[in-house]
Amino acid sequence: MYKIHLLLFIVSLLISCSSKKNEPKVYNQTGRALGTTFTILYVAPKQVGTMETSLDSIFQVINKSMSTYISTSDISKINSGDTSVKVDAMFAEVFTLSKKIHQVSKGYFDPTVGELVNAWGFGPKMGVKQMQPQVVDSLMQFVGFDKVKLKSDYTIQKSHPNIYLDFNAIAKGYCLDRIAAYLDSEYIGNYLIELGGELVAKGTKIIAAQEQVSWTVGIDDPNQTTERTLITTLKLKDKAMATSGNYRKFRVDTLTGKKYVHTIDPFTGYTKPSAILSASVIASNCALADGYATAFMAMPLKETKAVLKTQPLDAYIIYSDASGSLKTYITNGFQSLLNE
Protein backbone atom coordinates (compact mmCIF):
# COMPACT_ATOMS: atom_id res chain seq x y z
CA MET A 1 0.00 0.00 0.00
CA TYR A 2 2.87 2.37 0.85
CA LYS A 3 4.40 1.75 -2.59
CA ILE A 4 1.07 2.52 -4.30
CA HIS A 5 0.69 5.82 -2.44
CA LEU A 6 4.30 6.73 -3.27
CA LEU A 7 3.73 5.91 -6.95
CA LEU A 8 0.54 8.02 -7.05
CA PHE A 9 2.40 10.90 -5.42
CA ILE A 10 5.20 10.73 -8.00
CA VAL A 11 2.70 10.59 -10.91
CA SER A 12 0.77 13.52 -9.43
CA LEU A 13 4.00 15.50 -9.07
CA LEU A 14 4.99 14.77 -12.68
CA ILE A 15 1.58 15.87 -13.96
CA SER A 16 1.79 19.04 -11.87
CA CYS A 17 5.24 19.88 -13.23
CA SER A 18 4.13 19.09 -16.76
CA SER A 19 1.07 21.36 -16.49
CA LYS A 20 3.23 24.21 -15.21
CA LYS A 21 5.51 23.83 -18.20
CA ASN A 22 2.50 24.05 -20.50
CA GLU A 23 0.95 27.04 -18.74
CA PRO A 24 0.55 29.93 -21.19
CA LYS A 25 2.91 32.87 -20.85
CA VAL A 26 3.06 36.31 -22.42
CA TYR A 27 5.86 36.46 -24.98
CA ASN A 28 7.29 39.65 -26.45
CA GLN A 29 8.53 40.10 -30.03
CA THR A 30 9.98 43.47 -31.05
CA GLY A 31 11.77 44.96 -34.03
CA ARG A 32 11.77 47.58 -36.77
CA ALA A 33 9.76 47.57 -39.99
CA LEU A 34 8.16 50.01 -42.46
CA GLY A 35 10.28 52.85 -41.10
CA THR A 36 9.05 52.44 -37.52
CA THR A 37 9.07 50.01 -34.57
CA PHE A 38 6.75 47.15 -33.73
CA THR A 39 5.88 45.15 -30.61
CA ILE A 40 3.91 41.91 -30.48
CA LEU A 41 2.69 40.50 -27.17
CA TYR A 42 1.16 37.05 -27.46
CA VAL A 43 -0.01 34.38 -25.04
CA ALA A 44 1.13 30.82 -25.73
CA PRO A 45 2.47 27.74 -23.92
CA LYS A 46 5.78 28.24 -25.70
CA GLN A 47 7.50 30.79 -27.90
CA VAL A 48 6.86 30.54 -31.65
CA GLY A 49 10.29 29.77 -33.08
CA THR A 50 9.48 30.75 -36.67
CA MET A 51 7.91 34.12 -35.83
CA GLU A 52 10.87 36.33 -36.73
CA THR A 53 11.26 34.70 -40.15
CA SER A 54 7.51 34.85 -40.82
CA LEU A 55 7.30 38.53 -39.84
CA ASP A 56 10.25 39.39 -42.09
CA SER A 57 8.43 37.67 -44.94
CA ILE A 58 5.25 39.70 -44.32
CA PHE A 59 7.16 42.99 -44.21
CA GLN A 60 9.09 42.10 -47.34
CA VAL A 61 5.94 41.30 -49.32
CA ILE A 62 4.17 44.47 -48.14
CA ASN A 63 7.18 46.59 -49.10
CA LYS A 64 7.53 44.96 -52.50
CA SER A 65 3.89 45.65 -53.21
CA MET A 66 3.18 49.10 -51.74
CA SER A 67 6.27 50.94 -50.49
CA THR A 68 6.78 54.29 -52.19
CA TYR A 69 10.23 54.39 -50.57
CA ILE A 70 11.49 51.41 -52.61
CA SER A 71 12.07 52.19 -56.29
CA THR A 72 11.54 48.56 -57.37
CA SER A 73 8.19 48.08 -55.61
CA ASP A 74 5.04 47.57 -57.67
CA ILE A 75 3.56 50.91 -56.63
CA SER A 76 6.79 52.76 -57.49
CA LYS A 77 6.84 51.15 -60.93
CA ILE A 78 3.20 52.16 -61.46
CA ASN A 79 3.96 55.70 -60.30
CA SER A 80 6.85 55.90 -62.77
CA GLY A 81 4.47 55.07 -65.62
CA ASP A 82 4.82 51.29 -66.02
CA THR A 83 1.39 50.09 -67.20
CA SER A 84 2.37 46.41 -67.44
CA VAL A 85 2.59 45.79 -63.67
CA LYS A 86 0.12 43.20 -62.40
CA VAL A 87 -0.50 43.94 -58.75
CA ASP A 88 -0.84 41.21 -56.13
CA ALA A 89 -3.92 40.33 -54.07
CA MET A 90 -2.81 42.52 -51.15
CA PHE A 91 -2.43 45.59 -53.37
CA ALA A 92 -5.87 44.88 -54.84
CA GLU A 93 -7.41 44.55 -51.37
CA VAL A 94 -5.89 47.83 -50.17
CA PHE A 95 -7.01 49.52 -53.39
CA THR A 96 -10.60 48.29 -52.88
CA LEU A 97 -10.66 49.33 -49.20
CA SER A 98 -9.31 52.75 -50.18
CA LYS A 99 -12.09 53.13 -52.76
CA LYS A 100 -14.67 52.43 -50.06
CA ILE A 101 -13.21 54.95 -47.62
CA HIS A 102 -12.84 57.48 -50.45
CA GLN A 103 -16.54 57.18 -51.25
CA VAL A 104 -17.79 57.21 -47.64
CA SER A 105 -15.57 60.20 -46.75
CA LYS A 106 -16.82 62.04 -49.87
CA GLY A 107 -13.30 62.25 -51.26
CA TYR A 108 -11.42 63.42 -48.17
CA PHE A 109 -9.47 60.15 -48.14
CA ASP A 110 -7.57 60.17 -51.42
CA PRO A 111 -4.44 58.08 -52.17
CA THR A 112 -3.72 60.20 -55.27
CA VAL A 113 -2.44 63.14 -53.22
CA GLY A 114 1.01 61.50 -53.42
CA GLU A 115 2.62 64.21 -55.56
CA LEU A 116 1.31 66.87 -53.17
CA VAL A 117 2.62 64.88 -50.19
CA ASN A 118 6.04 64.84 -51.87
CA ALA A 119 5.90 68.51 -52.81
CA TRP A 120 5.02 69.57 -49.27
CA GLY A 121 8.01 67.56 -47.98
CA PHE A 122 6.27 64.57 -46.36
CA GLY A 123 7.04 61.85 -48.92
CA PRO A 124 10.03 59.98 -50.32
CA LYS A 125 10.74 62.64 -52.94
CA MET A 126 12.42 66.01 -52.41
CA GLY A 127 9.93 68.71 -51.40
CA VAL A 128 9.44 72.02 -53.15
CA LYS A 129 11.19 74.82 -51.27
CA GLN A 130 8.30 77.24 -51.63
CA MET A 131 4.84 76.00 -52.54
CA GLN A 132 3.50 78.83 -54.67
CA PRO A 133 -0.18 78.73 -55.77
CA GLN A 134 0.82 77.96 -59.36
CA VAL A 135 2.78 74.90 -58.17
CA VAL A 136 -0.21 73.62 -56.19
CA ASP A 137 -2.54 74.24 -59.16
CA SER A 138 -0.25 72.34 -61.52
CA LEU A 139 -0.24 69.30 -59.21
CA MET A 140 -3.99 69.31 -58.56
CA GLN A 141 -4.66 68.00 -62.06
CA PHE A 142 -3.17 64.68 -60.93
CA VAL A 143 -5.42 64.39 -57.84
CA GLY A 144 -8.62 62.36 -57.81
CA PHE A 145 -9.04 58.68 -56.97
CA ASP A 146 -11.79 58.45 -59.58
CA LYS A 147 -9.01 58.92 -62.17
CA VAL A 148 -7.53 55.51 -61.24
CA LYS A 149 -8.98 52.06 -61.85
CA LEU A 150 -8.04 48.50 -60.95
CA LYS A 151 -8.68 46.47 -64.10
CA SER A 152 -9.84 42.84 -64.19
CA ASP A 153 -6.35 41.71 -65.23
CA TYR A 154 -4.91 43.32 -62.04
CA THR A 155 -3.21 46.17 -63.87
CA ILE A 156 -3.73 49.81 -62.88
CA GLN A 157 -5.24 52.28 -65.31
CA LYS A 158 -4.55 55.98 -64.72
CA SER A 159 -6.14 58.84 -66.65
CA HIS A 160 -2.76 60.62 -66.58
CA PRO A 161 0.69 58.97 -66.28
CA ASN A 162 1.80 61.52 -63.66
CA ILE A 163 -0.82 60.44 -61.12
CA TYR A 164 1.07 59.26 -58.05
CA LEU A 165 -0.49 56.64 -55.78
CA ASP A 166 0.37 56.60 -52.08
CA PHE A 167 -1.20 54.03 -49.74
CA ASN A 168 0.95 54.95 -46.73
CA ALA A 169 -2.17 56.16 -44.88
CA ILE A 170 -3.66 52.66 -44.93
CA ALA A 171 -0.84 50.19 -45.72
CA LYS A 172 0.55 50.18 -42.17
CA GLY A 173 -2.84 49.25 -40.79
CA TYR A 174 -3.19 46.58 -43.45
CA CYS A 175 0.20 45.18 -42.48
CA LEU A 176 -1.05 44.73 -38.89
CA ASP A 177 -4.04 42.82 -40.25
CA ARG A 178 -1.66 40.47 -42.11
CA ILE A 179 0.34 39.92 -38.91
CA ALA A 180 -2.91 39.18 -37.06
CA ALA A 181 -3.87 36.65 -39.75
CA TYR A 182 -0.47 34.99 -39.31
CA LEU A 183 -0.91 34.74 -35.51
CA ASP A 184 -4.37 33.26 -36.07
CA SER A 185 -2.82 30.65 -38.37
CA GLU A 186 -0.49 29.71 -35.49
CA TYR A 187 -3.58 29.16 -33.31
CA ILE A 188 -2.67 32.04 -31.03
CA GLY A 189 -5.95 33.40 -29.67
CA ASN A 190 -4.65 36.17 -27.39
CA TYR A 191 -2.35 38.90 -28.66
CA LEU A 192 -1.68 42.61 -28.96
CA ILE A 193 0.14 43.97 -32.02
CA GLU A 194 1.53 47.51 -32.20
CA LEU A 195 3.20 48.99 -35.27
CA GLY A 196 4.05 52.68 -35.27
CA GLY A 197 1.19 53.42 -32.86
CA GLU A 198 -1.47 51.40 -34.69
CA LEU A 199 -2.95 48.45 -32.79
CA VAL A 200 -4.73 45.13 -33.19
CA ALA A 201 -5.93 43.29 -30.08
CA LYS A 202 -7.46 39.84 -29.80
CA GLY A 203 -8.63 37.97 -26.73
CA THR A 204 -7.12 38.84 -23.37
CA LYS A 205 -3.80 38.94 -21.57
CA ILE A 206 -3.59 35.86 -19.34
CA ILE A 207 -1.52 36.31 -16.18
CA ALA A 208 -0.87 34.19 -13.08
CA ALA A 209 -3.41 31.53 -12.10
CA GLN A 210 -5.07 31.78 -15.51
CA GLU A 211 -6.57 35.17 -14.66
CA GLN A 212 -7.71 37.01 -17.78
CA VAL A 213 -7.00 40.72 -18.06
CA SER A 214 -7.95 42.92 -21.00
CA TRP A 215 -5.27 44.44 -23.16
CA THR A 216 -4.86 48.09 -22.12
CA VAL A 217 -3.77 50.68 -24.70
CA GLY A 218 -3.44 54.45 -24.66
CA ILE A 219 -4.05 57.59 -26.71
CA ASP A 220 -1.30 60.20 -26.90
CA ASP A 221 -1.85 63.68 -25.50
CA PRO A 222 -1.64 65.99 -28.56
CA ASN A 223 -0.35 68.80 -26.34
CA GLN A 224 2.75 66.83 -25.37
CA THR A 225 6.03 68.66 -25.80
CA THR A 226 9.11 66.49 -25.29
CA GLU A 227 8.00 63.46 -23.28
CA ARG A 228 5.31 61.13 -24.59
CA THR A 229 2.25 61.27 -22.35
CA LEU A 230 -1.18 59.66 -22.60
CA ILE A 231 -4.44 61.56 -22.45
CA THR A 232 -6.45 58.42 -21.68
CA THR A 233 -6.33 54.61 -21.71
CA LEU A 234 -8.85 51.99 -22.78
CA LYS A 235 -9.47 48.26 -22.95
CA LEU A 236 -9.23 46.80 -26.45
CA LYS A 237 -10.46 43.33 -27.40
CA ASP A 238 -11.06 41.75 -30.82
CA LYS A 239 -10.73 45.16 -32.46
CA ALA A 240 -8.17 47.40 -34.14
CA MET A 241 -7.34 51.02 -33.36
CA ALA A 242 -5.42 53.61 -35.36
CA THR A 243 -4.59 57.19 -34.47
CA SER A 244 -3.72 60.04 -36.82
CA GLY A 245 -2.53 63.43 -35.64
CA ASN A 246 -0.73 66.57 -36.72
CA TYR A 247 1.14 67.05 -33.45
CA ARG A 248 4.15 64.99 -34.60
CA LYS A 249 4.21 65.12 -38.41
CA PHE A 250 4.95 68.63 -39.54
CA ARG A 251 7.72 70.60 -41.16
CA VAL A 252 8.88 74.20 -40.81
CA ASP A 253 9.74 76.31 -43.86
CA THR A 254 13.38 77.34 -43.36
CA LEU A 255 12.79 80.58 -45.27
CA THR A 256 9.52 81.77 -43.74
CA GLY A 257 9.41 79.84 -40.46
CA LYS A 258 5.84 78.77 -41.24
CA LYS A 259 4.68 75.42 -39.87
CA TYR A 260 3.06 72.93 -42.27
CA VAL A 261 1.17 69.87 -41.01
CA HIS A 262 1.19 66.58 -42.92
CA THR A 263 -2.57 66.37 -43.61
CA ILE A 264 -3.24 67.37 -47.22
CA ASP A 265 -6.68 68.65 -48.29
CA PRO A 266 -7.41 66.80 -51.57
CA PHE A 267 -9.83 69.53 -52.64
CA THR A 268 -7.39 72.45 -52.31
CA GLY A 269 -3.95 70.85 -52.49
CA TYR A 270 -2.79 72.68 -49.37
CA THR A 271 -1.81 71.30 -45.99
CA LYS A 272 -4.87 71.24 -43.79
CA PRO A 273 -4.96 73.82 -40.97
CA SER A 274 -7.52 72.11 -38.78
CA ALA A 275 -8.93 72.42 -35.29
CA ILE A 276 -8.75 68.62 -35.04
CA LEU A 277 -5.54 67.60 -33.29
CA SER A 278 -5.94 63.84 -33.40
CA ALA A 279 -8.41 61.17 -34.43
CA SER A 280 -8.40 57.68 -32.92
CA VAL A 281 -10.64 55.17 -34.67
CA ILE A 282 -11.70 51.66 -33.63
CA ALA A 283 -12.79 49.27 -36.38
CA SER A 284 -13.03 45.56 -37.12
CA ASN A 285 -9.65 45.68 -38.89
CA CYS A 286 -6.69 48.04 -38.78
CA ALA A 287 -6.70 49.00 -42.47
CA LEU A 288 -10.14 50.55 -42.08
CA ALA A 289 -9.21 52.18 -38.76
CA ASP A 290 -6.04 53.62 -40.32
CA GLY A 291 -7.79 54.96 -43.41
CA TYR A 292 -10.68 56.57 -41.55
CA ALA A 293 -8.37 58.12 -38.94
CA THR A 294 -6.54 59.85 -41.81
CA ALA A 295 -9.82 60.93 -43.43
CA PHE A 296 -11.16 62.38 -40.16
CA MET A 297 -8.08 64.59 -39.83
CA ALA A 298 -9.00 66.27 -43.13
CA MET A 299 -12.79 66.30 -42.75
CA PRO A 300 -14.81 68.95 -40.89
CA LEU A 301 -15.94 67.58 -37.51
CA LYS A 302 -19.60 67.84 -38.54
CA GLU A 303 -19.03 65.53 -41.51
CA THR A 304 -16.96 63.15 -39.40
CA LYS A 305 -19.89 62.81 -36.98
CA ALA A 306 -22.19 62.03 -39.91
CA VAL A 307 -19.88 59.24 -41.10
CA LEU A 308 -19.67 57.77 -37.60
CA LYS A 309 -23.46 57.46 -37.52
CA THR A 310 -23.53 55.33 -40.68
CA GLN A 311 -20.39 53.17 -40.35
CA PRO A 312 -19.46 50.41 -37.84
CA LEU A 313 -16.76 52.60 -36.30
CA ASP A 314 -16.03 54.25 -32.98
CA ALA A 315 -13.86 57.31 -32.52
CA TYR A 316 -12.15 59.59 -30.03
CA ILE A 317 -11.59 63.01 -31.62
CA ILE A 318 -9.47 65.66 -29.91
CA TYR A 319 -9.92 69.21 -31.18
CA SER A 320 -9.58 72.82 -30.10
CA ASP A 321 -12.57 75.14 -30.01
CA ALA A 322 -12.72 78.80 -31.10
CA SER A 323 -11.07 79.91 -27.86
CA GLY A 324 -8.24 77.38 -28.20
CA SER A 325 -9.51 75.12 -25.41
CA LEU A 326 -9.03 71.37 -25.80
CA LYS A 327 -12.26 69.47 -26.49
CA THR A 328 -13.16 65.86 -27.24
CA TYR A 329 -15.87 64.13 -29.22
CA ILE A 330 -16.30 60.49 -28.18
CA THR A 331 -18.76 57.95 -29.56
CA ASN A 332 -20.71 55.89 -27.04
CA GLY A 333 -18.95 52.70 -28.08
CA PHE A 334 -15.52 54.24 -27.52
CA GLN A 335 -16.64 55.76 -24.20
CA SER A 336 -17.62 52.33 -22.88
CA LEU A 337 -14.04 51.09 -23.36
CA LEU A 338 -12.30 53.90 -21.48
CA ASN A 339 -10.67 53.16 -18.12
CA GLU A 340 -11.94 55.24 -15.25
Residue pLDDT, tens place only, 88-129: 999 999 999 999 999 999 999 999 988 887 777 776 665 555
Per-residue pLDDT at 251 exceeds 60:
no
Q: Determine the Cα–Cα distance for residues 11 and 17; give it in Å rounded to an integer.
A: 10
What is the CATH superfamily name and number for domain 24-335? ApbE-like domains (3.10.520.10)
pLDDT of residue 256: 46
Radius of gyration in angstroms for the set of CA atoms belonging to the chain, rounded to a whole number:
23
As a whole number, mean pLDDT of residues 320-327 equals 80
Buried b (16+ CB within 10 A) or exposed e, 216-239: ebbbbbbeeeeeeeebbebbbeeb
pLDDT of residue 205: 86
Per-residue pLDDT at 79 exceeds 80:
yes
- The domain segmentation of the chain, as residue ranges, is 24-335
- The pLDDT tens digits of the residues spanning 295-314 come to 998 898 999 999 999 999 99
The reported pTM is 0.85
- Comparing 31-40, 116-125, 245-254, 285-294, the range with the smallest average pLDDT is 245-254
